[in-house]
Structure 1
Amino acid sequence: MLINSSDWAYDTFQHAKLGDQRRVHRLVRLAGALADQLGKSIVKASSSSAEIEAAYRFVRNPAIDADAIADAGFQATAKFVCEFDTVLALEDTTSLNFNHASVHDELGHITSHKSSRGMQAHSILLYAPHEHHVLGLIEQTRWTRDVEQMGQHKRATQRPYHEKESVKWERASRHMATRLGADISRVISVCDRESDVIEYLKYKCEHQQRFVVRSMLSRHIEEAGNKLYAYGAALHSAGTRQVVIPQKGGRKARVATCDVRYAPVTIKMPSNKSGTSTPLYYVSCIEQAHADGLSWHLLTTENVQSKAEAERIITYYERRWLVEEFHKAWKSGGTQVEKLRMHSKDNLERMIVVLAFIAVRVHQLQFMGMDKTQAEQQSCEVILSNIEWKLLWKKREKGSLPKQPPSLRWAYLNIGKLGGWHDSKRNGRVGWQSLWEGWFKLRTILEGV
């Protein structure tokens, strides 16, 4: 999936419905060039002035729909789902910040300040948990907020559900189900607290769609105690689980010892909503030693009758960080989409979509290298050509070339080192910036040769 940028671009976008096959050929050439020259602009990624002009004509063509480009990529992802018994649909929303003057008036607010400009994007990244494999994007919706409507979230209870931004969760599931057809039965949506919307939970249950959702509030339930969190706290502990909490900002990395509890629950419909109660399963993972420590209250459609099954649900939720890592690769760490400087929102969006799929490819590279066990067993030629790994060896190692290609793990670490990475945290995890810098330097060395 990662070898050869041109082949990857063809596999991803060959079925794009752009009205003219020549546009599809141009899309494939553009995506291949940008994937091959990661982080570079169209000008620097193109091989000639003719290529530059053709690429800009494509990006500026009003007849080309950004959603048509995206749909081709989603189709390419969908074809892999049937190969796996279980696939996690990891969902998250992020803001894309574009404050340059040329598109300022076409974009919406992204913070509490009216001066901020950008757009919102809601993505679903598919991941096979048992095979430790990132499949790709199956859904992404982009929109801009009306600057004049700032603050309307304070009146959220007064507006119909389908007029709220929170309808994005249901909309994304509908789009995903349409693309996957019968294979939707293999998919489990994994979402953070923002998705704890009763209409969304009802939709998923009514359409027999599986999910793991982190609870945002202690809902009313049919069981004794009447409130979800109080009921959960009264359950007998099924044992403990160690959860690794990574370093983030000013927070130090640590290992949390958590109590695991589980039970079937029946969620009541709020009094201001119409509908019946919803039967689900509840799993909690709450840190023992810290009152304000890790506290996960998870609601799921999966059958949970044992500690092992409860821990499986927790493991699924722990994988949600992968979609956040994808957003980092897209926005700043790999394709650097927020550095785009297009002269209209439509032009910007066409590039945003192309770079989203390239970011998935970069994310797959990082994730494959991070999995130490699997990466040691795979050849580095999964991601590097024969000449690329030999050049990397000559740059990083002192000995003569090995007869067999080294491992993917070796390539991952040494691309990072080429980019200035030092394992100061002793976790063997290369950061996005170092990985990107190393990849760029390797390409420069290759071009020189």
Structure 2
Amino acid sequence: MKLKNFTDLNAWAVEQWGDAELGDTRRTQRAIAIGVAIAANPQGSLPDMMQGWNEIRAAYRLFAEDDVTHKALIQPHITETKQSATEIKSNVVLFIQDTTELDYTHHRQVKGLGHIGDGKGRGMMLHTCLAVVPLPLNPQILGLAGQIPWLRSQKKDNDNTLVEALPELLRTDGEGEIWAEMVESIGTAPTPQTGSIWVSVGDRGSDIFSYLRRAKALYWHCLVRVTQNRVITKPDATKGYLKAFARSLQPMAEKTVVLRGRNGEPKRQVNLQVAWSQLTIQPPAIGCERKQQPIDGWCIRCWEPEGDLEWILFTTVAVNAREDALMQLDWYATRWLIEEYHKCLKTGCAVEKRQLESASSLVRLLGFFAIVSVRLLQLRQLSRSNSQLKAHEYIPTIMLKVLVARLGLTNCELTLGEFFLAIARLGGFLGRKSDDLPGWQTLWRGWLRLQDMCWAADFITQSV
């Protein structure tokens, strides 16, 4: 995303929804206005976002229109992301996929939802794909490459009545097929001679033979975390099992990684052993895939010698040297961005707190939040890019003046790096020596505060 477009909400919203085909140009204009309102205050309720009762009613009418679908709302953004991925030459684009649950259990009035979790909760499933260029230290998020909301097969609720799930969101195929469907919805990948290498990255849920086969048919590469102990053909042409074979490999390299803290645990640095080998995975012995051809690839194992950490990955991208193995481990580590995206949806946009009357309206609203969440995540990327450039060349003058005045800064000629650190201070960043660079939540809190102050200053200036 261009920084100037980020600071101009109206221009940004036109880029996202200006080409949306919603059956009427007035609906498209309304979608742009709603996008601006949501991006300006993503955590607020709809009444908080809109400027009055007429605006709220217009938004609710839009969410009830049959032509206003989630797919139609996100399509311009999806098209732009695919175009950006296609234009990247001699490089790799990672398409990071994952599924999350949107929980509306406590909103009992919402009609058309399905079961989630252990079957006692109500909500919907959301499968998302982010396109990312894996640059060192600061991956470039191109945007949303695809998104599929769906519902699990219908079950009886606690009172023994059948849940009335929205029919068009119900999955008729197996849940695991959604990985291949996502790749097929994006389309055929460029060949290495004409463009970048597209690599679909997934966790254990993506270890599905049909997904690997269907992706390969479209010239995609796959990098998946192994969960199935598949039958393989080893380099010496003998048969074996993938996990046992990977664990039999002797260390061939070392890698130091910093693990992000989870569940209250602090981050920690670990030294990992790395090994790899070429192999061929055999099709399943039973099921519709049993007659398919084997798939050639490589396994990469990294593990903590005196700990529990272990990754066993299967990849179709060649691993010919130490650098190849370590690079693909970095690719897989980039998968955390999809988790951050889901956090942007649930925390930054409070998407699970929305209280509309039907699943269809929630899905339409998701057509806005899905893209605003990308914007939230890209703020951190922007804050770490081109930090030495002069801020006044990219940031509106009123923003710089208000920020300098609010924080009492002595230097008015800020660089972009200094500008975003100041934004983070507004969001509560302390900037101690032990602190990492600010994350998207801190930056976003500061950005919203500065945005409100600038609106107030601009209003006062124009009123005088």
1:199 is matched with which residue? 210
Among 388, 406, 412, the alignment partner of 1:377 is 388
1:89 aligns with 2:95: yes
CA separation of 1:311/1:181 partners in 2, compared to 1, >3 Å: closer, same or farther?
closer
1:239 aligns with 2:253: yes
Q: Structure 2-normalised TM-score?
A: 0.85
1:176 is matched with which residue? 186
1:286 aligns with 2:311: no
Residues 360-406 of structure 1: CA deviation (Å, up to 9, x unaligned): 0110002332x4xx35234546874321132122222431522xx42
Q: 1:237 and 1:30 mapped to 2: Cα distance?
A: 55
Among 330, 335, 338, the alignment partner of 1:320 is 335
The within-5 A match list for 1:41-440 is 41-84=45-88, 85-101=91-107, 103-114=109-120, 116-130=121-135, 132-148=139-155, 163-177=173-187, 186-223=197-234, 224=238, 226-272=240-286, 273-290=290-307, 292=308, 294-332=309-347, 334-369=348-383, 371=384, 374-380=385-391, 384-402=395-413, 405-407=414-416, 409-423=417-431, 426-440=434-448
Q: 1:237 and 1:19 mapped to 2: Cα distance?
A: 59
Q: 1:298 and 1:67 mapped to 2: Cα distance?
A: 32
* Partner secondary structure for residue 212 of structure 1: strand
Shift of residue 419 of structure 1? 2.2
Residues 38-75 of structure 1: CA deviation (Å, up to 9, x unaligned): 32333222334443332232223233222111222211
Q: 1:282 and 1:237 mapped to 2: Cα distance?
A: 13
The answer on whether the counterparts of 1:107 and 1:145 sit within 8 Å (CA) in structure 2 is no
CA separation of 1:64/1:197 partners in 2, compared to 1, >3 Å: closer, same or farther?
same
Q: 1:98 and 1:27 mapped to 2: Cα distance?
A: 24
Residues 168-219 of structure 1: CA deviation (Å, up to 9, x unaligned): 10111100116x7778863111111110011112222233211111111332
Shift of residue 103 of structure 1? 4.2
| Structure 1: unaligned runs, 5 residues or longer | 151-160
Residues 104-157 of structure 1: CA deviation (Å, up to 9, x unaligned): 44211221152x21111000000111383110001000012245179xxxxxxx
The answer on whether the counterparts of 1:3 and 1:381 sit within 8 Å (CA) in structure 2 is no
Higher helix share: 1
**Match of 2:294, as an amino acid?**
S
**Match of 2:20, as an amino acid?**
A
Identity of aligned residues (%): 29
Shift of residue 299 of structure 1? 0.8
More divergent stretch after superposition (343-352 vs 380-389): 380-389
Corresponding residue pairs, total: 428
CA separation of 1:55/1:382 partners in 2, compared to 1, >3 Å: closer, same or farther?
farther
CA separation of 1:73/1:421 partners in 2, compared to 1, >3 Å: closer, same or farther?
same
Q: 2:393 and 2:233 mapped to 1: Cα distance?
A: 52
| Structure 2: unaligned runs, 5 residues or longer | 158-170, 458-464
* Partner secondary structure for residue 358 of structure 1: helix
1:155 is matched with which residue? none
More divergent stretch after superposition (84-93 vs 219-228): 219-228
Shift of residue 241 of structure 1? 0.5
Q: Structure 1-normalised TM-score?
A: 0.88
1:3 aligns with 2:17: no
* Partner secondary structure for residue 229 of structure 1: helix
Q: 1:220 and 1:401 mapped to 2: Cα distance?
A: 64
More divergent stretch after superposition (52-61 vs 322-331): 52-61
Q: 2:176 and 2:432 mapped to 1: Cα distance?
A: 40
